[in-house]
Structure 1
Amino acid sequence: MSSGEWKLHYRRMTRVSLLVLFLETPVILAPNVLRDPAAESVDSMVVPLVVLLPFDVILGALPGALLTYFVVLPAVGLSEVLGHRFGGREAWWWVPVVMAGGLAPLGALAALAGLAAPLTALLTWCVSVILLGVAALFARIARHGLLVDIALWGTLMWLSVGTLCLAVLHFAE
């Protein structure tokens, strides 16, 4: 692979990873905002949530870039190497394995150092693996320039999240 092709793949993966992380942020924040006990109704909280979305881009740029460059892209690269080493070809399932193994020491350190209760550290580790794993899987797809696949799976993800949020809101009342 030439230097120009490598830079193109790297840029694609970076953009898609940042996009997925930005899209996941409201998914994380929405239940916390909607569960505010001081709110009179769910409808009164939708407007502030929509108003805060542009600030997600401003405030989330640096953490998103750090996560992309230091967690997501190395996980994609290592999963490719491990796939070729142990399977002879790339396999998508190496991405979650690498992500889980890479984040496990951080979860264990948080639990052992007393920064979080063991159950809280375990749940945080699980959520981190899922959210960053999704970004890494989309980045892996983007490396091949499959914009249609990304759009299809992204739409499916948002429909699933929307359905889940509506179900939670329905049963919460």
Structure 2
Amino acid sequence: MDSVGRVLIREARPEDDVAIGELLVDAYVTQYAKKLPEVVYTDERKRALREVAAKREVATVLVAEVGGEVAGTVALFAPGAPGSEAWLPDAADLRHLATAVRYHGQGLGKPLLDAAEALARKWGVKAVCLHVRRGVSGVARMYMGRGYVRTPEGDLDTPTVFLEAYVLRLAV
């Protein structure tokens, strides 16, 4: 990767938990402040993002490492895993893609998504499901550019947020 140097994608380890949690909070707060200033991240939501150890118990958490630093992350939940929001049977759930603020716009999301999608294929699942907050059209376009298709039947309308569903069908 030319703009950020050499990138290592690997599974997260316990010693990465704090760095991943802070990266998620910083990235989400910074990006939503730019794109959707009305979105407020509560202390409860920040606490949930920082619960990386609990997430590693139910999902595969990957990190992008640049120069020994955790520079990005993504989580993939297997079909039926606790906390999965996949609405299709035999589908993985992709969550919490983020890069450190200083790496935004430098293409670090691509190797993370490549690795997560490769893992889903290795698992033999038929699809990868994900949700994007309504109004974050640039993120949605990025996923659609990778072959994800808008799938309204998987939308989540919670009391605090409306999440639009997308799916990538995998060849089996």
- Fold shared by both chains (TM-score > 0.5): no
Of the two, which has the highest radius of gyration?
1
Q: TM-score, normalised by structure 2?
A: 0.27
More strand by share: 2
Q: TM-score, normalised by structure 1?
A: 0.27
- Of structures 1 and 2, the one scoring higher in RCO (CA 8 A, sep 6+) is 1
More helix by share: 1
